[in-house]
Amino acid sequence: MTGIIIFALITAFFIVKLYRSLGDTNFDSPTDIATRQPHAQQPSDMVDVTPKENSKEEIERLEKERESKIEQYGLTLFNAIEKIQTSDRNFTDEGFIEGAQGAFETILHAFANGEKDTLKPLVSTEIYAQLEAEIDARAAKKEEHDTTLIAMVSTEIKNIILDKRVAKIVVGFVTDQVNLIKDATGKIIQGNPSQIDRISEEWTFKRSLSSSNPNWVLVETRAAT
């Protein structure tokens, strides 16, 4: 099964930079976080943080938003999202999904191009060992994987597992791709330039909610069932 998933990983093309759109989505680069400097507040910058009672309209708006989320995710997933938000006030499901898409594209782009240094901080030790072995095997055979992402069809949170202060979020990705394998001369030895493949996968991201590091790390991939 691992071989199948690794092959599926090879066949994706990704077009975004390493931490695109991940600034406040809990996929931040540790370097970016460390180098951010707080803006020195001037009197005009000060914000009145005195608690205010929500208006009736605001309460109704928040209740409708809550009901919409419960309808979208179901009560179990919604409660799990709220628990994560208790530990991380910056966490939102929309932001996480956007960040997951960026991570998906970045990891697979780096894998297809043999960029080990990019992969290492984004995946678990076990996943990295698998990807490194495949990269080395590909280089030994002098093969090139030419892939094009036609569309990111869907991205959705499938499951959330909370174990004490550790959170795992399972994300389902459905993508349309064109997948080619070429030899050292550039000749296509597998795939059809006119064939679009629809690939469904589930990726599991993990993060310690006790850590100041907001990065989610890829710990598992599998074909969607």
pLDDT for position 174 = 98
Q: CA quadruple 102, 104, 106, 107: dihedral positive or negative?
A: positive
Q: Which is higher by pLDDT, 114 or 200?
A: 200
pLDDT for position 53 = 59
pLDDT for position 144 = 87
> Is 214:28 a contact under the CB 8 Å cutoff?
yes
Mean of per-residue pLDDT scores for the chain: 80
pLDDT for position 56 = 84
Average pLDDT, integer, range 114-120: 94
Query: Which domains does the chain show, CATH number per domain?
Result: 2-29+63-223 (3.10.450.240)
The secondary structure of the chain as a DSSP string is -HHHHHHHHHT----S-TTTT-TTTT---HHHHHH--PPPPPGGG-------PPPHHHHHHHHHHHHHHHHHH-HHHHHHHHHHHHH-TT--HHHHHHHHHHHHHHHHHHHHTT-HHHHGGGB-HHHHHHHHHHHHHHHHHT-EEEEEEEEEEEEEEEEEEEETTEEEEEEEEEEEEEEEEE-TTS-EEE--TTPPEEEEEEEEEEEETTSS----EEEEEEE--
pLDDT in tens, 59-113: 888 899 899 999 999 999 999 999 999 999 999 999 999 999 999 999 988 888 8
pLDDT band at residue 148, thresholds of 50, 70 and 90?
A: confident
pLDDT band at residue 25, thresholds of 50, 70 and 90?
A: very low
pLDDT band at residue 205, thresholds of 50, 70 and 90?
A: very high
pLDDT band at residue 52, thresholds of 50, 70 and 90?
A: low
Inform me whether the pLDDT recorded for 43 exceeds 60: no
> Is 122:100 a contact under the CB 8 Å cutoff?
no
pLDDT band at residue 213, thresholds of 50, 70 and 90?
A: confident
Percent of the chain at pLDDT above 70? 76
pLDDT for position 96 = 96
pLDDT band at residue 15, thresholds of 50, 70 and 90?
A: very low
Letter for the amino acid at 46? Answer: M
